[in-house]
Chain A
């Protein structure tokens, strides 16, 4: 069965430091991969997505992610974290359902705290 693992429940980084959030997935075929961010009490905002092609994907707010098939990973990175990046981050894998998008399977999330 498809699954997504985010090994880190909570990460704290200093403002200006680099960030890497880990995501591992289990999926039989080539997955559709996503990273979403959620601020407290809010919905999910799409940061970036990978469907095919270049394995390094650029997203909004200066985030990027790299798809590594050999490691079944899709880690999210940012070179310099801002205090406004404090939020919860969710990795998700999407099913290819008859050529269109099926449901998303989410990890449990990683909460990011930013120290001044």
Chain B
């Protein structure tokens, strides 16, 4: 079982650019959540997708958007990048029931 896979593993962008991160959930999982982990901090919830809709959203601006596809994979898009967007972006998948998140290894985004 491949678990949760994320791509790319590393990414370097400049301020103002746009970025797309991708996530494939663990087999059998239908819910995808995205988290941002700044250096030295715990992960912070961005949003969660289920049945191709955003179900919950954390305290992140509209520059952060996402999508879930019929095969349950997901994308995270960030527009108008800021230096403060530099972080490890983690994708996690789960089933609606039972209740546990399985995390991918993350995408390290650096904004210069």
A interface residues (Cβ-Cβ under 8 A, vs B): 4, 32, 34, 36, 41-46, 49, 51, 90, 92, 94, 97, 99-109
Contact = CB atoms under 8 A, between A and B. Distances in A.
Chain A interface, >50% SS class:
strand
A6 to B, nearest CB: 8
B42 A108 contact: yes
Chain A CB within 10 Å, residue with most, of B31, B43, B106: B43
Interface string B87-105: 0001010101101111111
Given A42-B105, A46-B101, A103-B45, 18 more contacts: A34-B101, A41-B108, A43-B104, A44-B103, A46-B100, A49-B100, A92-B42, A94-B99, A97-B55, A99-B97, A100-B97, A101-B31, A101-B99, A102-B48, A102-B56, A103-B48, A104-B43, A104-B45
A44 B96 CA distance: 19
B93 to A, nearest CB: 11
Given A90-B43, A102-B48, A106-B42, A43 B99 contact: no
A90 B101 CA distance: 14
Contacts of A45: 103
A104 B104 contact: no
24 contacts: A34-B100, A36-B103, A41-B105, A42-B106, A43-B106, A44-B43, A44-B90, A45-B103, A49-B100, A90-B42, A90-B43, A99-B97, A100-B99, A101-B99, A101-B101, A102-B56, A103-B33, A103-B56, A103-B58, A104-B35, A106-B42, A108-B40, A108-B42, A109-B42
A96 to B, nearest CB: 8
Contacts of A46: 100-103
Contacts, number: 65
Contacts of B90: 43-44
A92 B42 CA distance: 9
Nearest to A6: B42
Contacts of B45: 103-105
B99 A106 contact: no
